[in-house]
Structure 1
Amino acid sequence: MVKPKLKTAGLAVVLMALLAGCSQNNSSSSPSTPTEDDNSPVTFSYYMFSPGKKDTLASETRIGKELQEQTGVDFKMEYLVGDSATKAGVMIASGDYPDVISSSGEMSKLLDAGAYIPLDDLIEEYGPNIKRVYGPYFDKMRNAEDGKIYALPYTANQGEYSGNPNVGGGAFWIQRSVLKEFNYPKITTLDEYFDLIEDYKEKHPTVDGAETIGFVSLAGVANNFFTLQNPAMHLAGYPNDGSVMVDMNTHEAKVVAGTDEQKKWIQKLNEINAKGMLDPESFTMNKDQYLAKLTSGRVLGYFNYGWQIGDATKNLLAAGIDEKRYAPLPIVFDESVKDQYIDPPGFVNNYATGITVNAKDPVRIIQYFDNLLKEENQILVQWGIKDETYSVDENGRFYFANDDQRKAHDDLELSRKFGFTYFGTDWPRYGGESTLSDGNAYSPGNQPEVAAASYTEGDKKFLDAYGIQTFSELFNKPEERPWFPAWSIALEQGSPEQIFTTKSDDLQRKYLPEMILGTPENFSKLWDSYMAELSKLDKAGYEATITKIVQDRVAGKW
C-alpha cells in the first residue's frame, strides 16, 4: 500500500512527547504509572477535521458526562471551519497540535509531519477492548514504513453486516411532491429524472412566492466538491471508490476525470443550467446555506450522500410535511446499467483518530478510548440509555417505544444535547454496519424494527406505491469488492500519485463549474481545453499505482 513516510524528525518529536507526557502529572498519580481507578479530572483537546458541528465540551452532553463519570476524562471538542487542507497546513507549520486529532482526509499530511505517536505499546498495555475491536484489522492499520499503528479507524465492523434500510449513502434525491404529482412513476435514467423535475417545475414555478429550484449542488464547498465529481461513477454503475472506477474482472482502476462518463454527466448539468433548472448558487453557497435550501421546500432534486444531509433530513421530518421530504433514487445513465450505490462492506484506515505528539497524557487518553469501546458504551453512544432513549422487547430486540425515544435521536437539538450528534462519528468505534453480540444492529437506523416503526404515513404511501418495505429495496444489493473503498488508499505526500490527485482536482474545480455554467455552444471548446490540461498529468502512472494496490488488496495484501 502507498502510505506516507514518517519523518525521522517526527519520530524524535514523538519520543520527546512521550517522555514529556510521563513527566507531567495531571492527576493524583503519575500517568507513567497509572492505576486502574485513576479517575481524577482531566480535560484534553480534541480536534475534528469534519465540519458542521458546534464546538463543545464532551461533558456538556449526556453521553460525554456519563463517560466522564466512568473515567474522569473530558474533551474540549473543536470542529473544522473553512478548508481542511489549510487548517492542517497551519497546524503542521506551527507544531501546535491538540491532544487528539480526528483526521478525516488529512491523515497523510499529519502522519508525514510526525503529528501522531505510535499506539502499539499503549494498546498492548492498556487496550484489551481496542484489541478485541481492531485486532482483526491490525495488519491493515500498520504504517508501511515502520509497521506501527498510529490511529484508530472508524470502520472496524463487528458481528454480522447490517445494511441501512433507509439509504445512508449516495443517491439522486427527489422531492416526494414531484413523484406524487405524476402518480409515483418508476424512473431509472438521468434523462427521466431531469425530465420529471422539469415538468414539475413548469407546473409549479414558485413555492410560497419564491422560485422553485430544479436541482442544486454542494460543489461550492471545497471539502464537498466530490458531490459534483462522484455522480459520474455512480451513473455508470460503480460504487464510491473515490477518483477511480475499478473493473470487476481485471481489477484495473480508471480515473474518472476526463472519461466519457464524466463528460456525459457534466454536459447534462450544462443542459439543465441552460434551461434555468440549476441553482446558480451551487458554486458559491456554504453548507449551512445549502441545507437551509433543502429544508425550504423549494428544491426538487439534488445528488448527495445521506450522511451529509442529516440536519436537513431531521428538520424536514420535524416539520411534518411529507411531500417536501426527499426520496433516494438509484439513477443511472441508461437501463442497461446495474446500479451500485450501496457500499459493500469495506475497511478505511486513513479516516481515523490518533493521539498527537503534544498529548499531555497518552495513557489516560488510550484508557478512555478502550473504555469507550466496551460494548455497553458502544450501545450508549448509538442507542443511549435503556428505557429513556430506547427500549428492549421480550426477545431482547432494541426499539423505540414512543415518540420521545425516537425524538432523542431524530430531533437535531435533542440529539446534540444527548450527544448522539457528537459521538456518532470521529471517535474510535464499531463500524456503522456492525451488529452487537446479541444480534441487534449497532446503528439504530439499521435496526429493521426501528426503520419500520419510524415510517410516517407519507413514507408508507411512498413504499406502497413502489411495492417495497424499505427505501433501500429500490437499490441493487452491493457486489463484493475486497479492495473497497479505493479512496482509502493513502498516498505519500509529495509522491507522483499525490501530486496527480491534487492537480487533477484543481483542474476539475476550475473547469467543471465553467463548463456547467457556460453556454451549450461553448461546452465542447471548454471540454477540449480541460482535456488538454489533464493530458499533461501522469494519469497512466497514477492508474498503474492504484491498480497495483487494488490487485494487492484482492490478493489479501494491505
Structure 2
Amino acid sequence: MKRKLLSLLLCAACVGTLLTGCQMTDSTEGASAAAEPESTAEGESAGTENGVEEASAGDAVKLDLYIDFTWYPTDSWSGIIPETLTEKGGVAFDVTRSADDSQLGLMIASGDLPDVIFTSNEIDRLCDSGLCYSYDELIEQYGVDWEPSAERVAIAKTHNANPEDAHFYTILQNYNTNEEWAKAKGVVPSLSCVYYRKDIWEKLGSPEMETMEDLINVCKMVQEQYPDMIPVNAGNPTWRLSPFACWYGAGNEFIYEDETSGKVAFADTTSQFYDYLKYANRLYREGFYPEENLAITNEDDAKQQAINGKCFIYEWNSRPTQLVQLNTATQANVEGAEWAAMPIPDEARTIVRANAGWSGMFISKKCKDPEAAIRMIAYMNSEEGQHLALWGREGIEYELDENGVPQFSDEWKETIKDEDEMHKKYNNSFFLCTTELDEGYTYYSGADEEVVADFSKNIDKIVNYPELAIALPVSTSDMGIIRAKLKEAREAELVKLYTAPSDEVFESSYKEYMKLLDQIGVQELNQYMTDEVAEIKKNFNF
C-alpha cells in the first residue's frame, strides 16, 4: 500500500542515509557492474559542477533523449541554451520526439529503451529497477554532489512499481510548495485560459464580457455579424473547453467533493462537473463550436484556426508570452488582429490544481553512460542549471532583481515575440528539471502590466492541493487499472454529452455515463483516493 510506503519515506534521516552513508545493496552492485564506464570521481577537479568539467560540444558525451510528448515544441538540442547546458553538464542530447501516445509504451514492452527518457504518462512503469537506474544508487556510486529534498524524494517514490522498493528513479519537475507560491509576486500558476479576439470585440461595441453569461451573449453577436467565424474553438485537445471546467471548480481529475470531511471524488461524478457539462452543451447547442472540432487531436491544427482568423475564442495556457506569440502569428495572417485574455470571472468557483510535479527524466538500463546521465541531470536540477534552461545565461540574457526575479535583455524580449525564432536562437524549451515558479517568471517577467492584471484577476480563487496528485494510484495496480479505464471511457462519453441535441438527451446520456463509471469501479477508486489523501496530508503536513 502507498500509505505504508509514505510512512517510511518521510524520515529525512533515512533519505540522507540512502544518499550518503549506506552500504551498497545487492541491486546497487548490479547497477555498478552494468554502469560503464567506471566512476572517475577520484579524479574530479576542484570547482567543477557535480564533478563535470566544462566541455565543448566535441568533447561532450552523446546520449539519446526521448521526449514522450507529441506536442513538444522542439526536437533539436541546438541553440544558445542547450549548447551552454552541454558545456556545463557534459552531455549533448540527440533528441527524439514521440510520434504518438503509444510509442513509449511499446518501447517499454519490447525492452528497447533509449538512454534517457522524459515522460509523464509512463512514470509508474519506469520507476522500476528492471528498466531504469535509481538516482540514489547512481548518486552514491559516482559521488555526485546532489541531494534532492526528502519531500521530492518521497513524491518520486510514490510512483514506484514495487511499493516496497526503497529507491527513487526520478525527481518530478515543475513543482513548488504552496509556501513558495505564497511568497511569489507578479506571476500566476499555469491554468487554461480563454483568449478572445479583442479587435472583433471592439468592433462589436466592446460589450460586457465579465461573466460566463456575458461570454455567451458576445458569442451570439459574433455569430450574427461574423457568420464565417467559429465563436468558440473547441479543437485544442490539451485545453479543450477546460477553462470552463476550471471556472466551475471541476478542472482537475479528482477534487474534494466535501473538503470538510476530506471526501475525494473523480471530478466527473460531482455536481461541479455536471454544471460544467451543461454549460459546454449549451455552447454547442447555441452553435458556437462544430462537432468536427471535437475530433481534432493535434494542437497545431486547432491553433491554425486561431492564427488564420477563423475563430473568436481560443483556449490555451495562461501565459503573457503565449499571448504575445499568438498575436504575432495571427497578425502575420490577419491585418489588425489582436488577442486578449479573459480574466477569471468573479462568479468562478474554487479553481482546483493538483500539482506535485508532472514529468520526470529517467535513465534506462540501456543507457550508454549512466554516470554522464546522472551528472547532467544533477546539474540541470541545480539552481544554476534550472535558471539556465529557462532564462539563458545570467549577465547576458537576464539579471536578477532584488526579489530574485529575472529581468531579461532587450534582445531576449524581442526574440520571444516569435515562437519559431525563440526556438531557433535560444531554445529554452528543455524544461526537464525546472520548477513551476521559475517557469512562471519566464512568461511573466517584464510583461505589460495590464496583461498581467488580466491574468492575475481573482488569483485568490486558485488553490493547489498537491495531495490529490501524490495520491494517484500506480498505473499497474488494481486502482490504477480502474483509473485508466475511467479515462478511456470518458473520451467517447463526453462527446455525447457535449453534443446532446436536447435536455432530454443530455440527461439520459449523463445517467448512462454515471452508470458506466459505477460499473468500471469509480466508487471504489473514490474511496481509495479519500483514504490515500488523508494519509498523505498527515505525512506531508499539507
TM-score w.r.t. the length of structure 2 is 0.80
* Equivalent residues in 2 for 1:61-460, closer than 5 Å: 61-83=79-101, 86-111=102-127, 114-124=130-140, 130-131=146-147, 134-142=149-157, 143=160, 144-157=163-176, 160-161=180-181, 162=184, 165=187, 168-177=190-199, 179-180=201-202, 181-183=204-206, 185-189=208-212, 191-205=213-227, 211-218=228-235, 221=237, 224=238, 227-228=240-241, 230=242, 233-237=245-249, 240-285=251-296, 286-306=298-318, 314-317=325-328, 319=330, 323-331=337-345, 335=347, 337-340=348-351, 343=353, 346-348=355-357, 351-386=359-394, 388-391=396-399, 398-402=406-410, 404-423=411-430, 425=431, 427-429=432-434, 431-434=435-438, 443-447=441-445, 450-452=446-448, 460=450
Q: 1:535 Cα deviation (Å)? A: 2.5
Q: Distance in 2 between matches of 1:184 and 1:125?
A: 65
Q: How many aligned positions are there? A: 499
Q: Distance in 2 between matches of 1:442 and 1:232?
A: 22
Deviations 1:174-206 (A, max 9, x none): 3323543343625223x332222122221222x
Q: Distance in 2 between matches of 1:15 and 1:103?
A: 27
8 Å CA contact retained: 1:214, 1:279: no
Aligned partner of residue 508 in structure 2, secondary structure? helix
Deviations 1:137-159 (A, max 9, x none): 33333344222111021134389
Structure 1 unaligned residues grouped into runs of 5+: 6-10, 206-210, 435-440, 464-468
Q: 1:54 Cα deviation (Å)? A: 6.0
Distance 1:313 1:283, change over 3 A: farther
Distance 1:168 1:523, change over 3 A: same
Q: Distance in 1 between matches of 2:471 and 2:447?
A: 33
* Counterpart check, 1:537 vs 2:520: yes
Structure 2: which amino acid aligns with 1:174?
A: Y
Structure 1: which amino acid aligns with 2:288?
A: M
8 Å CA contact retained: 1:127, 1:367: no
Q: Which segment is superposed worse, 354-363 or 280-289?
A: 280-289
Q: Distance in 1 between matches of 2:321 and 2:274?
A: 30
Structure 1: which amino acid aligns with 2:479?
A: E
Partner of 1:46: 65
Q: 1:473 Cα deviation (Å)? A: 3.1
Instruction: Percent identity, please.
Output: 18
Aligned partner of residue 451 in structure 1, secondary structure? coil
Q: Distance in 2 between matches of 1:316 and 1:554?
A: 43
Deviations 1:344-388 (A, max 9, x none): 8x523x621121111111111111122233433333222213564
Q: Distance in 1 between matches of 2:231 and 2:282?
A: 12
Q: Distance in 2 between matches of 1:199 and 1:531?
A: 35
* Equivalent residues in 2 for 1:483-498, closer than 5 Å: 483-484=465-466, 486-498=468-480
Aligned partner of residue 77 in structure 1, secondary structure? strand
Aligned partner of residue 259 in structure 2, secondary structure? coil
Structure 2 unaligned residues grouped into runs of 5+: 6-24, 45-50
Structure 2: which amino acid aligns with 1:261?
A: Q
Q: Distance in 2 between matches of 1:37 and 1:550?
A: 41
Structure 1: which amino acid aligns with 2:81?
A: I
TM-score w.r.t. the length of structure 1 is 0.78
Deviations 1:424-475 (A, max 9, x none): x2x123x1214xxxxxx9733243xx124xx6xxxx4xx6xxxxx6223322
Q: Distance in 2 between matches of 1:115 and 1:328?
A: 45
Q: 1:504 Cα deviation (Å)? A: 1.6
Q: Distance in 1 between matches of 2:279 and 2:487?
A: 20
Distance 1:203 1:77, change over 3 A: same
Q: Which segment is superposed worse, 115-124 or 517-526?
A: 517-526
Partner of 1:8: none
Q: Distance in 1 between matches of 2:269 and 2:176?
A: 35
Aligned partner of residue 342 in structure 2, secondary structure? strand
How large is the Cα RMSD of the aligned pairs?
Answer: 3.6
Structure 1: which amino acid aligns with 2:63?
A: F
8 Å CA contact retained: 2:405, 2:441: no
Structure 2: which amino acid aligns with 1:544?
A: Q
Structure 2: which amino acid aligns with 1:273?
A: Y
Q: Distance in 1 between matches of 2:327 and 2:91?
A: 36
Partner of 2:17: none
Q: 1:516 Cα deviation (Å)? A: 2.4
